[in-house]
Each structure stands twice: as C-alpha cells, then as structure tokens.
Amino acid sequence: HGSTPKIDWLNHKIHLGGLVPSPCILTMSDILKLPRVSFPVTLVCCGNRRKEQNLIKQTIGFNWGAAGVSTGVWSGVRLIDVLKAAGVTDINDFPAGHHIRFASEFEKGGDKLPGGVYGTSITLEKALDPSQDVILAYLY
C-alpha cells in the first residue's frame, strides 16, 4: 500500500487509545524494552495475479502477475505485550466483536488515500491469542 514509511526513531510514538483501560503512548525506546521475537514470514499481495483478473473484468491497481510474494525474517515485539501496557490483558473484559485498529498518519509517512489514511484491524481475540504470533515489526 505504498513505500515503507521513514520514521524518526527517536521521536516516533505508538498511541494506544480507544476503549483500552489505560491509554498510553509508547516510544520506540519503550518498545525495545519488551521481549523481541523473530519469525520467517511469507507475504502475498492481495492483488496477486491481478493481470489475469483484468482479462475477465477490469480491476483497480497495479497489473501484477504471479510475482507479488516475498519471504523474509521479521523481528519485533508481540502485540499482546504492547497491549498489556494499555491494560488489555483479558478478552473477557470486552464485549465480543472488538477489534484492534492500526492506522498510519499521512504526516508521519503513511499513505494518503481518498478516504483518509491507510488502516486495518484484527479481532481482539486474535490479538490476545499467544499462538497467533502477531507482532509489531521494527526490523526486517
């Protein structure tokens, strides 16, 4: 969804807000104090093979062939550990269906889109499940 944002490591902050019990702001120094994990990850573009799709019906986006895939080792901190800093520890403390929302800020290097900035979400259940290996990656 665009190039990798260039952040100022010393001034970059992660805001944890919304319905969390203890809203807070974490610096990258705070993040580095959490246990670091590394995983080999394969990413596949959701537009992979769009070239073939366009032969049937025109879509929006780059005319990918079958090459929108890569594998690398990503390192960072588990999202569950980051959420603990905001007091999020037990899924039973929240009504069913809650999500963790991730959003970028255009001014901080995020993608500027017609409807706002790029964002996505995952269920709170997935975020708090240690078997899911959800991380906030800071190293590739």
The pLDDT value recorded for residue 134 is: 95
Global pTM reads: 0.80
The pLDDT value recorded for residue 123 is: 94
**How many beta carbons lie within 10 A of that of residue 127, not counting itself?**
20
d(CA 90, CA 80): 10
Distance from first CA to last CA of the chain, Å, rounded? Answer: 17
Mean pLDDT calculated for residue range 23-47: 92
Percent of the chain's residues with pLDDT above 90: 45
